[in-house]
Amino acid sequence: MARKVGIVGAGVTPFRGQWIEKTYYELAQMAAMTAMQDAGLEPSDVDAAFYGIYNDIFERTCIPEHPLQGIIGLQDKFGIRISNGGATGAYTMSAAHAYVAAERFNTVLVLGVEKATDCFDFQSMSATPEVIKTIGWSGDSFFEQKIGWSASDSYAEVVLAYMDEHPGDLKPEVTAQISSLLSQQVRTNPYAQRQFDQVTPEEVMNSRLVVYPFKELEICVYTEGAAALIFAEEETAKAISRNTGQPVVWITGVGEANEHSFAGKNQKVMSRIMSDYLGAHRAYEMAGIEDPIKAIDIVELHDAFVHQLEISMAEFGFVPLGQADALVEEGIMTPGGRLLVNPCGGLIYCGHAVGASNIMSAWSARSELIKRKLRAALVHGTGSTVAQYAACLILEHE
Amino acid sequence: MVEKKVIPSEYIPDVSRKTVTIAGKDYLVVNDAMFTFYRRSMGELSQFFLALRDEKKVLGCKCTKCGILRVPPFMTRCPDCNFALTELVEVEQVGVMNSTPPITYFATSMFQHMAPFGRGRVILRGADTALSIIVYTTTGILVPGLVTKGTEVKIVFRDNRVGEIIDIFCVPTSELAKEQIARKGLQESEIDWTAAVEPGLPVADENDVATYKDALNAMQDIVVQMNETERARKDTAGWKRSIQVKTTGGQFAIEIDDGNIRIEEKVLEAPDFVMVCKDPKVLLEGLAYKGSLTDAVIMKRLWISENMEFTTIFKLDRTARSLARASKI
């Protein structure tokens, strides 16, 4: 029988478009220190480190985690780096959970960090084209990189295939409303990159297409920052909780899936995000959740694109496939609705510091569960070409 | 023949460093690169790439047990049949799009010269899986709706092939002659790329002419301001283009010359490209930063005769934004 695992501490750095003042060493140390202090712990109390860092090129070094082991005070202890595309943070939490549940460690640090905009395109004298080129090295190197594969166009493939099957769904007015809603929710997140960037649905509708069908204000932004969590097994977690006065938020379900990266028969079904479906339903099964719409109160999902947010919500079982616009049209995620979706502003407004993003989402879910006295949250990460990877966690507050 | 470099020299920045001061503290910012060169074998994929280059053939791999035919042939054994061997077979060069392809307008630093471009997946006749491929149209800019799920397309080979996936792309068969569709190994030079069909304009009435005159005057005022604004001039620095613009109420020329833009009523003898927009206000709104010219092209309100000239459209959009921002300050 696996042991119960809980979150007993959390911390994030401010998420910013660029941190000229800090390297990833400093960002990682800030987040690790904040999470340990939140749990009332010192480095000597922590048994192991799980690093979520997506892209070596962003950090400008291979095995970018190696200097961090000493910087966070965990020298001579276990340290492992997880890199799973956009889902890096969620997969890092999944790995840390497994080690604690399996009695390898009692107390561990989950630490996500990413730089991005050190990458710079000297032709356009701007960072973004070089940042997306750097991500472009993640595409298939034999058949796709050289014909312009990008993260955006690969997710757009999935979205357009979904729209081929469900032509009445993902209406531009609805995606614009969701983006606008997220921009309102981010106001209360002082760590967000775009805390005061509120936009109207009209502004979203009028923003220019970047990759059809995605508009500029429907896409996550590139971010630099770090996020950290402390996981502990049941007895340790309860002791830490008594010490800090903060309730334990338990991780009751974890589920993951990586799909095929090529499309066609026996391969990826382009109109689905099966990774999200399988990841979420495996997590529900572990948590004993039969009806997610009744059981879940908060969703902190990886909104790389608003359209994908809608499809992911359908794959999670909150709305039927083909009727994802009900999220807004039936008020499911609008203020006062059944679900609170991305109260942190999501990756579109809080920011997408890749390895840290899903960990930031868990930081937000934990804090919202405690603050609002709600019961359960779903935390999600998606990544790789055509939304191939997903990892989901169920957090519960007793 | 000019020797090509693995990294084109224009991508390589100079050695340089600067000091940035934030809140009274100095930070050192350094131009830098991570670079690794490869001499990489295509291994078991070599036959596929050599067949593209040398024989203008597309190969797939067929499972000797279940018969599934995968294109591209990215595995030598079938994982669905407990790793039964596959064999290379040739597939046809016509197929259908597996789903609607996305169109990239804002590309990575390596593909900006190609934008806008579509990248989709084609299931070639006889194949069971989809091949990732660039989608082009012979009719100008690839706009949403032109190629969708199920659109029949033809593989076209580059004239100069190098043994990489860039040796092929596809175009809708509806834009090709029967004989071209049937021909194996159809090359890009065998297609009429200049056949972009210029849209016709309705016969102008008095209102159209009046609208045209008003818009023309307003645009001329805007470009005078652009020419006087340093920030806006930078956006077209080093750029030279002559554009014939046709609208319902009349036609005029936009001439861009190294930071200077001129708009006047005349017919150019040999314009670099042609713009057609029924309503000149579309262009006016773009230049006035009340709408985007990029989106006007995408949404078919503005037609341009050369795909490559999207770069000029981006520059005009940027100039409009620079003028608007400079005016706010």
Say how many CA atoms lie within 13 Å of A55 toward its Cβ.
27
Q: CA-CA distance, B185 to B178, in Å (whole number)? A: 14
The total number of residues shown for chain B amounts to 329
DSSP structure class, residue A245:
-
The type of residue at B28 is L
> Three-state SS across chain B?
CCCCCCCCHHHCCCCCEEEEEECCEEEEEECCCCCCCCCCCCHHHHHHHHHHHHHCCEEEEEECCCCCEECCCCCCEEHHHCCEEEEEEEECCEEEECCCCCEECCCCCCCHHHCCEEEEEEEECCCCECEEEEECCCCCCCCCCCCCCCCEEEEEECCCCCCCHHHEEEEEHHHCCHHHHHCCCCEHHHCCCCCCCCCCCCCCCHHHHHHHHHHHHHHHHHHHHHHHCHHHHHHCCCCEEEEEEEECCEEEEEEEECCEEEEECCCCCCCCEEEECCCHHHHHHHHCCCCCHHHHHHCCCCEECCHHHHHHHHHHHHHHHHHHHHHHC
Q: Which residue, B241, B230, B229, B224, is CA-closest to B315?
A: B241
Q: CA-CA distance, A116 to A60, in Å (whole number)? A: 10
Say how many CA atoms lie within 13 Å of A344 toward its Cβ.
32
Question: Which B residues 74-113 touch A at CB under 8 Å?
Answer: 74, 80, 98-112
Interface mutation target, options B12, B132, B301, chain A, most CBs of A under 10 Å: B132
Model confidence pLDDT, tens digit, residues A63-87: 999 999 999 999 999 999 999 999 9
**Residue spans per domain, chain B:** 43-189, 206-328
CA distance A169 to chain B (A): 15
| H runs (alpha helix) in A84-233 | 88-101, 128-136, 151-165, 172-185, 201-206
Question: Which A residues 212-231 touch B at CB under 8 Å?
Answer: 212-213
Across the 329 residues of chain B, what is the mean pLDDT of every consecutive 10-residue run?
A: 77 94 97 94 98 98 98 97 98 98 82 79 98 90 91 96 96 96 95 78 94 96 96 86 96 95 95 95 91 84 82 84 70
Q: CA-CA distance, A278 to A384, in Å (whole number)? A: 16
Q: CA-CA distance, A312 to A381, in Å (whole number)? A: 10
- A75 touching B, CB under 8 A? no
Q: CA-CA distance, B308 to B305, in Å (whole number)? A: 9
- ipTM confidence: 0.93
Candidates 3.30.479.30, 3.40.47.10, 1.10.3720.10, 1.20.210.10; correct CATH number of A5-118+222-244? Answer: 3.40.47.10
| H runs (alpha helix) in A234-305 | 234-244, 274-287, 292-295
Q: From B46, which residue of chain A is nearest by alpha-carbon distance? A: A142
- pTM assigned to the model: 0.89
The type of residue at B72 is P
Contacts of B93 (CB under 8 A, 6+ apart): B58, B124, B154, B155, B184, B185, B186
CA dist B38 → A135, A143, B6, B41 (Å): 19, 17, 10, 9
With the CA atoms of B295, B301, B304 and B308 taken in that order, what torsion angle do they form, in degrees rounded to the nearest 10?
Answer: 20
B129–A153 CB contact, under 8 Å: no
Residue B103 token pair:
């169109």
Count interface pairs A-B at CB distance under 8 A: 155
Question: Which B residues 240-299 touch A at CB under 8 Å?
Answer: 291-292, 294-295, 298
A271–B99 CB contact, under 8 Å: yes
Q: Is the dihedral of CA A210, A214, A215, A217 positive or negative?
A: negative
Q: Which of B22, B102, B132 sits opposite A156 (nearest CB)?
A: B102
CA distance A151 to chain B (A): 10
Q: CA-CA distance, B329 to B327, in Å (whole number)? A: 6
User: Directed axis angle between helix B280-287 and helix B310-328, to 10°?
Assistant: 50
Whether the ω angle into residue B72 lies within 30 degrees of 0, i.e. cis, is: yes
**What is the reported pLDDT for B329?**
47
Q: From B117, which residue of chain A is nearest by alpha-carbon distance? A: A148
B119–A147 CB contact, under 8 Å: yes
Those residues of chain A that have pLDDT short of 50 are none
Contacts of A16 (CB under 8 A, 6+ apart): A193, A223, A224, A225, A351
* Burial classification of residue A261, based on how many CB atoms lie within 10 Å of its CB (0-12 exposed, 13-18 middle, 19 or more buried): middle
Q: Which residue, A394, A206, A360, is CA-closest to A284?
A: A394
Encode burial over B132-159: b for 16+ CB neighbours within 10 A, e otherwise: bbbbbbbbbbbbbebbbbebbbbbbbbe
Model confidence pLDDT, tens digit, residues A33-48: 999 999 999 999 999 9
Chain B CB contacts of A262 below 8 Å: 70, 74, 129-130
DSSP structure class, residue A265:
T
Strands, sheet with B303-304, edge to edge from the N-terminal-most edge strand:
B260-264, B250-257, B240-247, B273-276, B303-304
Q: From A158, which residue of chain B is nearest by alpha-carbon distance? A: B99
Under CATH, domain B206-328 is a member of which superfamily? SCP2 sterol-binding domain (3.30.1050.10)
DSSP structure class, residue A83:
-
**Residue spans per domain, chain A:** 5-118+222-244
∠ CA A174-A177-A181, nearest 5°, is: 140
- B189 touching A, CB under 8 A? no
The type of residue at A352 is H
